[in-house]
Amino acid sequence: MKKHAEAITFASVLFLSIVMLRQAAQAQNNSSQTVDNSGGMMAGEGMAKTNTPASPPLFVTKIPPGYRDWKLISVAHEAGTLNDIRAILGNDIALKAYREGKLPFPEGSIIARLAWSYVPSEENNKIFGHDQSFVAGTPTNGVQFMVKDSKKYAATGGWGYAHFNDGKPAPEAMLQSCYPCHLAIESRDFVFTRYSH
């Protein structure tokens, strides 16, 4: 009876250990950029085929260095609750693809979205002689990135999503909402912004 109880205890501990190890590995998958959870999918394969419950989305957790020096893709104003004026910048790989009109974007492409509060410029309006000028105020609505790595981010169409508020990554719950929206523009490799010549 004692041996039987010992065997049950041993089996239980072993089972719990395996569960805990799997959970730890899973947590690491979710928070690290260095882990490849692609399951061996090739670049360019669609997310719909690769996203399974066993491979939850990964997000970008580090701000790509030097992004403020990147070249301009385009500009936009989002009214409503966002109420910002924004610039979309890209690293050299993304810019080249944009200018050549190539889709999908090649590996290593990064697109950055910077936003500032949308404010009327009293200074400018005084010169114009009437109210018409809206400029970029203080940074607002964080800084966002899309990073192309078809293997690492296979679960979200080959793009890793990121949002940083004051340099800190947004909670994953918030990042979960990126990909479902970008799915609407799958035909342009999940990228909304068009290049402005």
Q: Would you count residue 177 as binding a second copy (CB under 8 A)?
A: no
Fill in the per-residue mask, 37 to 76: x = in contact with a second copy (CB under 8 A), - = not in contact. -------------------------------xxxxx-xxx
Q: What is the dihedral of CA 146, 93, 39, 52, to 10 degrees?
A: 30
Give every CB contact of residue 42 below 8 A, 6+ residues apart in sequence: 150, 151
Work out which of 23, 135, 171, 177 binds a second copy, going by CB under 8 A. Answer: 135
- Residue 59 per-residue DSSP state: B
Give me the least distance between CB of 55 and a second copy, in Å please.
25
- Residue 55 per-residue DSSP state: S
Helix (H, G, I), strand (E, B) or coil at 152: coil
Residue with tokens 């203080």: 138
Note the residues at the interface with a second copy (CB under 8 A). Answer: 68-72, 74-80, 82, 85-87, 89, 114, 116, 118, 121, 123-124, 126-128, 130-136, 139, 181, 184-185, 192-194, 196-197
